[in-house]
Amino acid sequence: MSKHTDTSKLWGGRFTEATDQFVQRFTASVQFDQRLAEEDIRGSLAHADMLCAVGVLSEEERQQIHQGLGQIREEIADGEFQWSVELEDVHMNIESRLTQLIGNTGKKLHTGRSRNDQVATDIRLHLRSAIDLIGAELTRLQRGTIALAADNCDTIMPGFTHLQTAQPVVFGHHLLAWNEMLERDHGRLMDCRARLNQSPLGAAALAGTTYPIDRELTARALDFDRPTENSLDSVSDRDFAIEFCAFAALLMTHLSRVSEELVLWTSAQFNFIELPDRFCTGSSIMPQKKNPDVPELVRGKVGRVNGHLVSLLTLMKSQPLAYNKDNQEDKEPLFDTIDTVLGSLRAFADMVPAIRPKAEPMREAARRGFSTATDLADYLVRTGLPFRDAHEVVGKAVAHGVASGTDLADMSLATLQGFSPDIGADVFEVLTLEGSVAARNHLGGTAPQQVAAAAGRALARVDARS
């Protein structure tokens, strides 16, 4: 054999010179894919069991592989495993160490599979576990949000459009709007999990294998619903990673919207809520500052998650079937998305239930900005006035209020009747904040009794998951 042959490579038989040292470092993935070590070992154990079941391995060889992989698992857990860039990736590092430990039997483990189906299996296993953790944190956030809403069914605040005071609502109603976003996110996450839960193991490099493998057996062993159908697609598909990142981008967008409201509401200009000190930081120069860093940071992190989604879409857009080295670039964006989503959800699940609403400043803000103007228009419509005419009447009343600095509810009956003789003494029942929210007494409305019922339904949906 030539002295230039790359004997360190498990695939080096047909090569006549060693890999360039820079290329070796450039093409290696072990720096980040070692994160898949547990899934790689789990997949290898299932593969060894299957090879034994179909007669490719003996029972003694199967036991040797189990023992060797068990030792490797312990070495990795204890931080004693020696990762090598020369061995390129997590798969080769583990296989090489296995061969060191148990000899030639270790070389038999790769029978009937390829790194192509091996990594596809590992990523699906890893992402499935991550989805389960994310689902639990998302559910925890929803429970906290719903509980806070149930405690604030009659806490009045202004509702906004264009960030201008629009109509009064109750704080619980606003919180349940957050929960509706999160509920849709949870549904998308579970849809993603259902589609990824198919086993590509056995597709080998791209065409399957000549060995008498049992893909149903390995799929069951790894808790997949079933094997994938097509070997070409099995090794080249990354739809599940893209779909997860799409879910993550939407979830983070929702958390960013919530973050923006939290940042506004904690400001002195709004003063609607207070966040506990443990979720805030101070200023190095301004001693009075209490900065809402957690929501600000989550609001900022949506950019990196959106970027990862675009990265994966771009990665896949021009790849011919089947596997290509491009797909090595799928892991870092996926891993970072997992970490970012988990961290953001954990922070929010801890923080949201600890929000302390300030009822009086909220109520005072709702009194400003003529938030019951629509109620006055609706009142006039009920007297028989066409809505457009009612709209004009109320607009003139509001203009008078702006000029005089008087809210509609504070105007005298005589003043209001100057805009329309159809206005009676009972008008003040609809011009109060309590009257306004109570009048929205229908499914999806902001009436306190409707909000309490909606919180109950939302909690029941969450409880039904377990």
* Catalytic entry in 162, 284, 318, 442: 162
As to burial, measured by CB atoms within 10 angstroms (0-12 exposed, 13-18 middle, 19+ buried), residue 259 is buried
Residue whose entry in the numeric block shows the structure tokens 């009612």: 390
* Catalytic entry in 2, 267, 283, 404: 283
Calpha distance 210→204 (Å, rounded): 10
- In sequence order, the 6+-apart residues with CB closer than 8 A to the CB of 54 are 211, 212, 213, 214
Q: List the Cα angle 39/218/30 in 5-degree steps.
A: 25
The neighbouring-strand residues paired with 227 are 199
Strands (E) located in 353-421? 356-357
Q: Are the C-beta atoms of residues 133 and 342 closer than 8 Å to each other?
A: yes
Told to judge if 114 belongs to the known catalytic residues of this protein, a careful annotator would answer no
* DSSP 8-class letter at 327: G
* DSSP 8-class letter at 320: P
Q: Are the C-beta atoms of residues 402 and 197 closer than 8 Å to each other?
A: no
Strands 226-227 and 164-170: unpaired
Q: CA dihedral defined by 443, 446, 450, 453, rounded to 10 degrees?
A: 100
Calpha distance 351→9 (Å, rounded): 50
Smallest CA-to-CA distance from 320 within 229, 236, 234, 203 is with: 236
Q: Are the C-beta atoms of residues 380 and 430 closer than 8 Å to each other?
A: no
* End-to-end Cα separation, the chain, in angstroms: 61
Calpha distance 93→34 (Å, rounded): 9
Structure tokens at 93: 């590092």
Structure tokens at 94: 């583990």
Told to judge if 318 belongs to the known catalytic residues of this protein, a careful annotator would answer no
Calpha distance 98→70 (Å, rounded): 10
Catalytic positions, written as ranges: 162, 283
